[in-house]
């Protein structure tokens, strides 16, 4: 050890240099408490339901229920409403380790929900003689555009509320889970417009009522996901 004693005579090049404290570590903003998150989501859900119900009161309920068979009501109104509610619950379900359901399940539901609406609209026979010649006569598009605008407006506010209520809620599969949220809200809006509009023409149903559901799913997957991604 004495042979290395000369090392003590080597001057320290950092001696006397000012000591700067290490920068404090940066942490991401703390997540909101679970109770606050739940209240925010319930508030968004309640406002969205109130939004749809208020517009149904203002626009009115269709007057042809006496002419509609039970299976038609079940397929066009009850089924999309139940699918929308179930899809919304599954989209926000925590799943294992809080990561949500498997992406394959979520993606399948996000695609099958809108498809089921289109299938019911396109394959079910009209419950009573409808104006099937609307497209050829040019009278199809005004009604389509009216219902398309209404349904998009009915889905827009819930989509905005979903973006606020689900902020940083999805640590995995945010795109597909947000898309499922959009599809769910689109289906609920589609059920609402079917509850209001008495036009049973298949072309009108597919375009005026079905397109907004696809648009809502795309907005959810491409736009809402930016806020929902953790």
213 contacts 189 by C-beta, under 8 angstroms: yes
Give the per-residue pLDDT at 49: 94
Backbone dihedral region for residue 97 (phi beyond 0: left; psi -120 to 50: alpha; all else: beta):
left
DSSP code per residue over the chain: -GGGGGGGGSPPTTTTPPPPPPPPPP-PPPPPPHHHHHHHHHHHHHHHHHHHHHHHHHH---S-GGGS-HHHHIIIIIHHHHHHHHHHHHHH---GGGS-S-HHHHHHHHHHHHHHHHHHHHHSPPSS---TTHHHHT-HHHHHHHHHHHHHHHHHHHHHHHHHHTTT-BSS-HHHHHHHHHHHHHHHHHHHHHHH-----HHHIIIIIIHHHHHHHHHIIIIIHHHHB-
- The residues that bridge with 229 in the sheet, in sequence order, are 170
Residue 57 to residues 53, 62, 105, 128, Cα–Cα distance (Å): 6, 11, 36, 26
Give the angle 212-145-58 at the CA atoms, nearest 5°.
80
CB contact set of 58 (below 8 Å; sequence gap of 6+): none
| pTM (two decimals) | 0.81
Give the per-residue pLDDT at 8: 63
Mean pLDDT per 10-residue section of the chain, whose length is 230 residues: 60 62 56 74 93 94 92 96 95 78 91 95 84 60 92 96 92 92 96 94 92 96 92
Give the per-residue pLDDT at 141: 82
Give the per-residue pLDDT at 107: 93
Could you tell me the end-to-end alpha-carbon distance of the chain, in angstroms, rounded to an integer? 57
Tell me the C-alpha distance between 219 and 125, whole Å.
31
Q: How many CB atoms lie within 10 A of CB 26?
A: 5
Give the per-residue pLDDT at 127: 86
């Amino acid at each position: 050890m004495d042979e290395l004693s000369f090392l003590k005579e080597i001057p320290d090049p950092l001696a006397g240099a000012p000591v700067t404290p290490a920068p404090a570590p940066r942490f991401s903003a703390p997540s909101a408490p679970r109770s606050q998150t739940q209240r925010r989501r319930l508030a968004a859900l309640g406002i969205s339901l109130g939004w749809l119900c208020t517009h149904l009161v203002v626009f009115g309920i269709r007057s042809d229920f006496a002419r509609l068979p039970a299976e038609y009501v079940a397929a066009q109104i009850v089924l999309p409403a139940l699918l929308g509610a179930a899809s919304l619950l599954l989209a926000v379900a925590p799943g294992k380790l809080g990561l949500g359901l498997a992406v394959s399940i979520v993606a399948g539901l996000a695609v099958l929900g809108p498809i089921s609406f289109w299938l019911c609209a396109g394959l079910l026979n009209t419950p009573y003689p409808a104006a099937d010649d609307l497209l050829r006569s040019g009278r199809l598009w005004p009604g389509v555009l009216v219902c398309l605008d209404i349904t998009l407006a009915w889905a827009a506010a819930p989509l905005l509320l979903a973006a606020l209520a689900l902020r940083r809620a999805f640590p995995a599969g945010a795109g597909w889970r947000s898309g499922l949220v959009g599809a769910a809200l689109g289906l609920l809006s589609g059920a609402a417009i079917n509850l209001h509009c008495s036009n049973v023409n298949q072309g009108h149903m597919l375009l005026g009522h079905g397109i907004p559901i696809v648009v809502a799913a795309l907005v959810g997957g491409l736009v809402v996901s930016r806020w929902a991604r953790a």
